[in-house]
Chain A
Amino acid sequence: MNDMPKIEQATDMTDSKISANKVQVYYGDTHAIKDVDIEIQPRSVTAFIGPSGCGKSTFLRTINRMNDTLDICRVKGSIQIDGEDIYDPKVDPVQLRAKVGMVFQKPNPFPKSIYDNVAYGPRIHGLARNRAELDDIVASSLQKAGLWEEAKDRLDEPGTGMSGGQQQRLCIARAIAVSPEVILMDEPCSALDPIATAKVEELIDELRENYTIVIVTHSMQQAARVSQRTAFFHLGILVEEGPTQDIFTNPVDKRTQDYITGRFG
């Protein structure tokens, strides 16, 4: 019974989308991530949970090298996407980020029109040859993000004028528009009310068909609802990782158990 997941994990190892090996992250002298090994499956949702300050965001940001924008941050170890080491000097972080999109905790639409927000990525990457193609990309991204109905009549209005939930879905649409393979989401619902949260969760569930999604969340219920696998971090260490079902019903580690039963964190 207990062996089942392990075998499953082993078979999945070969075709995992992202595989991290002995990852260390330092902020100056602070050792924020210690020896993290993890395999992330393609076309599934992986949730990172753990108490505040345990390094979830830090680890998430290593996957698209967003930490490069911080001067004091150093990353060691290897992270491979599709078998390619993303910290290889040959890899251009800018291109990597087109492949690995990111959605942030607080909705951060640019102070531009809704259309321009979504068209931003395709424009800088030259994904559309003409205006018609760009229109198509914008429309389909908004549709995938479930925002088309609400936005189609106000594409010229500023994105910052939408509601928080709409803004967050706009940010998801913006990320989708560059056709990434992986989407990283750092607490995407923490600034949203329950109804907007439900919409975003629904959306994540739909996106799973085409994208590999990693989501950081503080809500155990959310992790249980949207993710197939869950990783529990504690003090910069990956304590436990496995199918969501197992983590929540049958955690192996004492710390995981304490956390999900609300005894700390």
Chain B
Amino acid sequence: MPVVWLILIVLAVAVVGYVLGRGRALASAGGEQIKLHSLPSYYGSNVAMKVVVPAFLILVLWLLVQPLIVNNSVSGLIPDSEIAEGSSRGLVLAEVRRAARGLDNAVAQGLITEDFARNARADFNDVTARLKEAGQVVTSQITQPILRAAQEYRVLNATGNFMMSIVVILAALAGAAWGLYESRADFRARNTVERGIKALLISAASIAILTTAGIVFSLVVNTVEFFRLYPAFDFFFGLTWSPTFSGRGGNSQLGIIPLLWGTFYISFVALAVAVPIGLFAAVYLSEYAGPKVRAVAKPLLEILAGIPTIVYGLFALLTVGPLLVSVFGPDGAGIMQSGTAVMTAGLVMGIMLIPFVSSLSDDIINAVPQAMRDGSYGLGATKSETVKQVILPAALPGIVGAILLAASRAIGETMIVVLGAGAAARLSLNPFDAMTTVTAKIVSQLTGDADFASPVALVAFALGMTLFVVTLGLNIVALYIVRKYREQYD
């Protein structure tokens, strides 16, 4: 039975349970709602909860565990002789699964019968031919043991699925019975449901946290692995970045300094563009603009924030780069070789960050109490004097927080850099040179066909970890400042 059906059945049981539970509770109170401990719907929800939660938990666990068990036992059917040179048991198992799926599809199309598919004495040549006939992709080397394993795989899975359906449905029914048994007037259904909802919310929150922990964990593990293959000192203090993909990356030089330099240089240019423009835009919008201008300009700025960064990357590559070259390139000032440069990426990234800075600053400026403005205007200060001397100082900690958040976005930005700044890791002061950043290099280290156990690929994790630590630090400082500032006016 397909899983979808199973889910629908469980849900149907839950709905029926809801209605019955509600009715039973009401009946136990003699139809007088006032005598119930909780509203009738809570009794229904209690039943539904007891149907759905255990049944789905079992379902999920079963779906996770069954493939492991089946793979394990099928794997035992494959003799070592079947595993060709340069191949692995995993690859052969994948072949088995493909054959099994082919059989499934052929049965579904009615080209072979279920009996034929299960026939232990079937000739593998015959089966292969029939599968091909059915349009199923089968590699030519389907062999007797693989066919046997595939048949076993199908049988095990079918039994497993059948048992799963039974167990899940039984669990649902048992839950319904339990819930219905509880549906009496004095049962505290509301509290139970409340606890259930709390558990649901907690599990959602813990999934988010556990995932983060998992990501960090995998970063750490791989980083440690990298440092076993490559000295940490050379990584953190090396001035050259030149990975060689040949010879398992044996003589690569993987110093992070040029990448960090590129990252910070580009981020610096980006912030130099975004901070003044974003801040002034925010001041204009919150202090000077009339309600009509505000109503149009604010959403427009926010649209800018919704543009995917790849679009900004294209803008950098196709518009800003050539424009800069025409001014600073060989025909102009002569200090720019090609369109991809720190300046190109930095300018475009700055544009990307403008709405980010401006909308955060706008919120912060608006949070400065009107009383501050009144006090200043009441003393005969002009608008700009008020902004400069009262509002900005009062909002400063929050604005600094916003800038730090923008900085951590700039540091983590990838697409604009890949398209706008080039791929050359270089330590240079000229903002019109091509440089590259940590993020761009992570991409290029992993998109090559280097094998994942070599230092040239593993270095990506060390880079990611470094980046993670830097942006985490920035975010913590920023959040600390923002929070501190909030307390001031609450």
Contact = CB atoms under 8 A, between A and B. Distances in A.
Contacts of A66: 374, 377-378
Interface string A89-110: 0000011111101111010111
B378 A120 contact: no
A116 B488 CA distance: 19
Nearest to B369: A108
Contacts of B382: 94, 124
A209 B110 CA distance: 108
B379 interface: yes
Nearest to A102: B378
A63 B378 CA distance: 11
A175 B378 contact: yes
Contacts of B389: 110, 120, 124
Contacts of A171: 375
A171 B372 CA distance: 11
Scoring B369, B374, B375, B394 by chain A CB atoms within 10 A of each residue's CB, the highest score goes to B375
Contacts of B371: 104, 106, 108
B376 interface: yes
Nearest to B386: A124
B308 interface: no
B380 interface: yes
Interface in B353-381: 369, 371-381
Given A97-B380, A108-B369, A111-B488, A124 B385 contact: yes
A121 interface: yes
Contacts of A174: 375, 379
A2 interface: no
A64 interface: yes
B79 interface: no
A94 B381 contact: yes
Given A110-B372, A124-B385, A104 B380 contact: no
Interface residues on A, range: 20 to 34
A173 to B, nearest CB: 11
Interface string B280-308: 00000000001100000000000000000
A124 B377 contact: no
A174 B379 CA distance: 8
A180 to B, nearest CB: 9
A178 interface: yes
A112 interface: yes
A108 B379 contact: no
Interface in A246-263: none
Given A111-B394, A111-B488, A124-B389, A64 B378 contact: yes
Given A71-B291, A110-B390, A111-B393, A121 B380 contact: yes
Contacts of B369: 108
A125 interface: yes
Contacts of B394: 110-111
Given A69-B373, A71-B290, A112 B379 contact: no
Given A71-B291, A110-B394, A124-B389, A98 B380 contact: yes
Contact of A112 (B373, B377, B385, B393): B393
Contact of B376 (A64, A95, A120, A125): A120
B33 to A, nearest CB: 44
A187 B372 CA distance: 17
B375 A110 contact: yes
B372 A124 contact: no
A21 to B, nearest CB: 24
Interface string B464-490: 000000000000000000000000100
Name the residue among B291, B373, B381, B389 with the largest chain A CB count within 10 angstroms: B381
A125 B290 contact: no
Interface of A: 64, 66, 69, 71, 94-99, 101-104, 106, 108-112, 120-121, 124-125, 171, 174-175, 178
20 contacts: A66-B374, A66-B377, A66-B378, A69-B374, A94-B380, A97-B377, A97-B379, A102-B379, A103-B378, A104-B371, A104-B374, A104-B375, A106-B371, A110-B372, A111-B372, A112-B393, A120-B381, A121-B379, A124-B379, A171-B375
Given A98-B379, A99-B380, A121-B380, 7 more contacts: A71-B290, A94-B382, A97-B380, A102-B378, A109-B375, A110-B372, A120-B381
Shortest Cβ-Cβ A-B pairs, 10 listed: A98-B380, A102-B378, A108-B371, A97-B380, A121-B379, A108-B375, A111-B394, A124-B385, A124-B381, A94-B380
Interface of B: 290-291, 369, 371-382, 385, 389-390, 393-394, 488
